[in-house]
Amino acid sequence: MPHAEALPIAAPSLTAVLFGLSGCLVDFGARARHHDSLSTQHTDATPGALDSLHSLQRQQIPCAWLDELSPALSLTLSASLPSWVKPTQHSATINPWPAPNACWQALMSMNVDRLDGCVLVSGEPRLLQSGLNAGLWTIGLASCGSLCGLAPDEWLALTQKEREQRRGKATMQLFGLGVHSVIDHLGELDTCLADISLRRLKGEKP
């Protein structure tokens, strides 16, 4: 009798995704903490942010954001995000980044019962180190985080060569930190998350 063809094994779905707020979902360049007043550039969602959030919602993968900014500033920055994206606050004076506590607390507030399949996405090295210390998969953002540190209009004013140089330097710093993947911005997140799912299928651990 002919052998039945084995069905392909589906990659495991992700458990939860945590995002940094400043320099990730909003505030391209993570500039808000350095300014006395906020412009619309600070509160605008970064490229791909809203599409990424809605994609996770369709897949029923819980997500939340965290930051170490004051609650008032965080609330202002997050105004452009969907209301169903949960904010998680962690006192910056108690076990601050890069301690893992903020990530664990965020997952606990989402009622996530395991670390397996949990991902942190951020452009802030200290938060990414916190995610690594917490045992999460980590994705660093090269162009819109604090390592490049430019507002959208400043970024666009650069030449292509200047952008590539800054992006390349930030990428090297993020990989040097030990993150599992680096992308330019959240417009590339879906592909990166699919890659992490395949790496998990092959048995890789964060």
Residue 33 in domain: no
User: How many domains, the chain?
Assistant: 1
Task: Look up the CATH number of the domain holding residue 73.
Answer: 3.40.50.1000
pLDDT of residue 5: 52
Residue 25 in domain: no
Residue 164 domain boundaries: 44-201
Residue 105 in domain: yes
pLDDT of residue 165: 97
Residue 39 in domain: no
> Looking at 35-44, 68-77, 131-140, which range is the least confident one?
35-44
| Of 141, 116, 106, 139, nearest in space to 22 by CA | 141
| Of 185, 53, 73, nearest in space to 122 by CA | 185
3-state secondary structure 135-183: CCEEEEECCCCCCCCCCHHHHHHCCHHHHHHHHHHHHHHHHHHCCCEEE
Residue 82 in domain: yes
Residue 4 in domain: no
pLDDT of residue 34: 80
Q: Residues 137-149: pLDDT tens digits?
A: 999 999 999 999 9
